[in-house]
Amino acid sequence: MLTLKNSIISKKEIKSESVSNIIEEVREISRNLYPVILEKVGLEESVKSLAENFSNETTLFVTTEINYQNKVEKNKELHLYRIIQEALNNTLKHGNATIAKIKIVSDENFLHLSVKDNGEGFDVASKTKSKDSFGLQGIKQRAQAMSANLDLKSDDSGTEILIKMAN
């Protein structure tokens, strides 16, 4: 009887731990859907923080140049932030780059985003058509969702992702 009771208690503890893990995973997913930092401090500070985190936690040194005077809608800020995240992830995973630069400039008419690295580069035509290039496809879809122009440049001196959109 005592063994049965201990077994039941043990199973309850395991289930409780599993539920706690699931709750934490759901929280992490929801934080990633709309980063809290973006809501609290805005796009400029969020991008600076992202660059600092990449520089501190990876082999990629990331700099920023931001002149973001004319703000865009929150949903567009989220798309821009995600494009920057994906560009940095791709740079780190595939580009063998050591340096990346994020540049955001806005004026009364347009916002320009550039994410540039010193990596190996790739064949833009084949990669953008490939069904396996999920990161690039996501960047392309986000640019389309914002009605933005997307330009990808890549050669053996690095890659640059350029976004231009109306304010």
The predicted-structure confidence for 126-138, as pLDDT tens digits, reads as follows 777 777 778 899 9
Over residues 79-94, the mean pLDDT reads 94
CB 76 within 8 A of CB 144: no
Over residues 98-106, the mean pLDDT reads 98
Residue 162 has pLDDT above 80, yes or no: yes
Dist CA 50 CA 54 (whole Å): 6
Distances (CA, A) of 143 to 14, 111, 113, 116: 45, 12, 11, 17
| Dihedral angle over CA of 47, 164, 161, 116, nearest 10 | -60
At residue 29, the pLDDT reads: 54
Over residues 54-68, the mean pLDDT reads 96
At residue 54, the pLDDT reads: 95
pLDDT tens by residue, 107-159:
989 999 999 999 998 888 877 777 777 889 999 999 999 999 999 999 999 99
Per-residue tokens: 142: 């986000």
- pTM, two decimal places: 0.79
